Structure 1
Amino acid sequence: MGDKDLISKRILKTLVRDFATYLFGLPVVEVALLDGERQRIEARRADLVAHITLPDADPCLLHIEVQNDNQALMPYRMLRYLSDLLLDHPDLPVRQYLVYIGQERLTMADGFDLPDVHYRYRVVDMHTVDCDALLGQEAPDAWVLAVLGDFKGRLPRDVIHSILTRLKERFGDDLPSLRDYVEMLDILATNRNLNLDIHEELKMLNLDVEQLATYRLGLEKGREQGLEQGLEQGLEKGLERGLAQGALERGRAIARNLLDQGMEPAWIASVTGLSLAEVEALRNRP
């Protein structure tokens, strides 16, 4: 999937299924991720493209764009993505969705009309999605998506705690599953600019943060390196911010532990993503 380097394919696939099921009302049976990159003079990439199968329906392509800012030219971008998909898959129908998660009021159009061209796609404004409705589902995927919805006056920390508490109760000692959902929650919460450190919130719930941290020895490479520039205009800013803030501190914490165990600084730097100079500075720090 090109340089989708920060999120694993498994999490991307889960996000596609969750968006389809809980936001678009599409009861997806099967999901197969496709590469959304197309080369022209410059590289253009769709955020998420998947081959999906619905009950009692022919297979189709699902294209999802996630935006956290209003772009006047978005309808033309969507049409451009559509033409690329149709050229590559002329025998498959395409369902297109724009999911808006920005803080400002949604002003983007759902298509355009020209004298001989009438084009539409579906828009989901997360400001209109009641987070309590998602939290009321008996599905952890819906709980995680609730962080993008309308909090109805609730404090962000209360919503985050409600989600994390349910995830803890549902998965217990199933750390791989719990880790995946915490990763998705961390990514989506960052895009809401909630200014909350998910891992600090985990500590308050007495969860072992080190076992759930993004940089875990031998089990993950950072976040397996990527969601394609961070879901373009949508998740891009959140992922970069998450790497710059949370991951750096987590990398330093793990580096300190490894130094205490006598590991070589060069190896620690390669595992954590820190520079060798940073690791050496940690070793010399009292």
Structure 2
Amino acid sequence: MPSKDIALKDIFEEIPHRLSKILAPAPIKELLPTNFPSTELRVDFLARLEDESVLHIEFQSFNDPNIPFRMLRYYLAIWERYPNSPIKQLLVYVGNRKLRMKSKLRLRNLTFSYEMLDIRQIDCRVLLESPDPMDRLLACLCGVEDELYLIEKLIKTMEGMNEEERKDYLLKALTLTELRPNLRIRLTEEVKHMPIVVRPEDVRLPKRKLRKDILYRLGLEEGKQIGELEFAQNMVITLVESRLGYVPEGLAERVREIKDKEFLHTLIKKLISSEDILGVLKRELSV
């Protein structure tokens, strides 16, 4: 199971107070088992509501053209287990690209549909003002206008936690923001001085992805501390690669030559806020 799915499952096991009210058409009465051994299917979230209906929520991080067929299989498995309960299905899209999936399936003798929501339609401030830490975590995936405000709220949430709780909360935030690369870079920069040791085994990613992961790339593995200058240099290179998908020839060498930390921090802010990454590089670094 991908790390993002694990994080979402863990969060929803605690029933985020405010988001559950947004997503569920009625208050949640009880959580239901999510696995269906006879079919080898497992859904992301299943609950009985106070109106006695069954709510199924599925999270999707990429556009899958076959998702209507999968949702139909889930529906049939749920109906077989709870034949006397109305079933409500909701597909919550948490991906970074534009939502392009269909919420309806039309076959020759069958028409099937379900509700669908792009989580970015929810204003993150609605969840950030919730007293529930899980709501604040999920705000990372919602519509964000002020990333710094969101990060400040997450850090403030961690202030009352013990070390293990802070570590678990931070890792969940970093895992979820794999889906929001720019936010993840800013979050990593803001928390790098927090007294939390993050090792590669803590970041639940396959080895092939771990080497590309921002935490690994920025030298946080094994609690390693690197100088602020090197950190800023790495941040510029990683940010460019994240935005462009590649590192322009000669960029890494050019960035390593820069010894002015303030210039690098200013450059990072420009790269984060600009849509024209190549233009910024040309103006600031003559690359």
Q: Does the pair score TM above 0.5?
A: yes
- Counterpart pick for 1:54 among 49, 54, 59: 49
Q: Which has the higher contact order (CA 8 A, sep 6+)?
A: 1
| Cα distance change, pair 145–7 in 1 and its aligned pair in 2 (3 A) | closer
Q: Which moved more, 1:11-20 or 1:129-138?
A: 11-20
Q: In the alignment, what sits opposite 1:119?
A: 112
Matched, 1:203 2:196: no
Deviation at 1:162, TM superposition (A): 2.4
Name stretches of at least 5 consecutive residues in structure 2 with no aligned partner: 225-287
Q: In the alignment, what sits opposite 1:167?
A: 157
Q: In the alignment, what sits opposite 1:245?
A: 213
Q: Deviations over 1:201-233 (max 9, x none)?
A: 3234xx3212xx367xxxxx847x7xxxx9xxx
- The answer to whether the Cα contact below 8 Å between 2:199 and 2:223 also exists between their aligned partners in 1 is no
Q: Which moved more, 1:77-86 or 1:23-32?
A: 23-32
Secondary structure of 1:72's match?
A: coil
Deviation at 1:21, TM superposition (A): 3.1
Q: In the alignment, what sits opposite 1:107?
A: 100
Secondary structure of 1:209's match?
A: coil
Q: Deviations over 1:127-178 (max 9, x none)?
A: 31111222233332222111111123x3x3x144223233134xx2434444
Name stretches of at least 5 consecutive residues in structure 1 with no aligned partner: 216-220, 231-236, 255-286
Secondary structure of 2:116's match?
A: strand
Q: In the alignment, what sits opposite 2:90?
A: 97
Alignment of 1:15-94 (within 5 A): 19-24=19-24, 26-35=26-35, 39=39, 45-46=42-43, 48-50=44-46, 52-55=47-50, 57-58=51-52, 60-94=53-87
| Cα distance change, pair 66–118 in 1 and its aligned pair in 2 (3 A) | same
Letter in 1 for 2:154: L
Task: Normalising by structure 1, report the TM-score.
Answer: 0.60
| Cα distance change, pair 176–99 in 1 and its aligned pair in 2 (3 A) | same
Structure 2 distance, partners of 1:145, 1:111, is 27
Task: Normalising by structure 2, report the TM-score.
Answer: 0.60
Aligned length: 220
Q: Deviations over 1:90-113 (max 9, x none)?
A: 344432111112233222222234
Cα RMSD of the aligned pairs, angstroms, is 3.9
Structure 2 distance, partners of 1:17, 1:32, is 17
Deviation at 1:13, TM superposition (A): 0.9
Deviation at 1:75, TM superposition (A): 1.5
| Cα distance change, pair 6–123 in 1 and its aligned pair in 2 (3 A) | closer
- The answer to whether the Cα contact below 8 Å between 1:13 and 1:32 also exists between their aligned partners in 2 is no
